[in-house]
Amino acid sequence: MSIAIDHSGKVALVTGSGAGIGREIARWMARAGAAVVVNDIRAGNATATVDLVTAEGGVATALVADLRDDTSIDRLVAGAVEWGGRLDVAINNVGMMAGRSPTRFIDMDGAYWRDLLDQNLVLTALCGRAEARVMMEQGSGVIINVSSGETTRPSPLMSSYGAAKAAINHLTWSMAVELGPHGIRVNAIAPGTTLTEQVEKAFPADHYEAIVAATPLRRETSPSELGRLSVYLASDLARCTTGQLILADAGAFLSRTRPPNLAPNPDPGK
């Protein structure tokens, strides 16, 4: 006997899937049979993800949108439904540092805080709202918010990012409570340090090595592991799971060893 996960006939939307973790989530959802809407702010990257999916025999379309614009979120979700006829799975993956560098708590101004909260909490909430409205009409759906392992182990210079992602954990609970009676499950996934192109560029090698050495599994998370986890969480195998934060961090949250501090941002305005 074997058990397979089959998302055939479902439509999945993955925000920010033109690169990194989102791209791998899109690829894995397509490998499991879902028709995937690839959203990104960068048109070339979105198309490149669609090409990767179709090269493997999957089905995907690119919908380019900057989700910092509230109306573009509603247009994106409407476009996804127009393309696929429904919306079964939505993975709210856009987040990160909003173009800011790690900065000491005492140096961050209001603009910095607002950028981080906008890019992570507000954008995720508004995507969830637009997706939930469609799913409530269907009476079914799965939403996965991308949080961070940072919410379990605060690091120096990352307080606004950590707080914004921790707010996503609470948002996930609240969404699960309000949307559960409508047949919608809402969970969050928390990547540990994941070597995407951007992260690779940002981390000095010794910082990365210290992070890896501090995890029980002595490794980083790969983007494809978030893809596999999303395929599972979106499936019937996880049908009784809602309102949970699922860590994919090689056990980093168990570690008592801190990675060395990043050098403070010399220009706190950035």
Ligand X SMILES: NC(=O)c1ccc[n+]([C@@H]2O[C@H](COP(=O)([O-])OP(=O)(O)OC[C@H]3O[C@@H](n4cnc5c(N)ncnc54)[C@H](O)[C@@H]3O)[C@@H](O)[C@H]2O)c1
Contact set with ligand X (CB under 6 A) = 16, 18-22, 39-42, 45, 66-68, 93-96, 146, 148-149, 191, 193-194, 196, 198-199
What is the C-alpha separation between 7 and 110, in angstroms, rounded? Answer: 43
Which residue's CB is nearer to ligand X, number 68 or number 182?
68
186 and 145 in contact (C-beta within 8 Å)? yes
Nearest to 226 by CA among 62, 59, 37, 19: 19
- Least CB distance from residue 248 to ligand X, whole Å? 9
Cβ count near 256 (within 10 Å): 6
- Least CB distance from residue 187 to ligand X, whole Å? 15
Q: Residue 17: enclosing H or E segment and its boundaries?
A: none
- Least CB distance from residue 185 to ligand X, whole Å? 20
Place of tokens 């709202």: 129
Which tokens is 1 given?
Answer: 């006997």
One-letter amino acid for residue 158 of the chain:
M
Which residue's CB is nearer to ligand X, number 99 or number 139?
99
Which tokens is 193 given?
Answer: 């340090």
Which residue's CB is nearer to ligand X, number 58 or number 149?
149
What is the C-alpha separation between 1 and 46, in angstroms, rounded? Answer: 38
Query: What number of CA atoms fall less than 13 Å from residue 157's CA on the CB side?
Result: 16
Phi, psi (deg, nearest 5) at residue 26: -60, -45
**Enzyme catalytic residues:** 147, 161, 165
Which residue's CB is nearer to ligand X, number 84 or number 192?
192
- Least CB distance from residue 18 to ligand X, whole Å? 4
What is the C-alpha separation between 108 and 248, in angstroms, rounded? Answer: 29
- Least CB distance from residue 15 to ligand X, whole Å? 6
Which residue's CB is nearer to ligand X, number 21 or number 234?
21
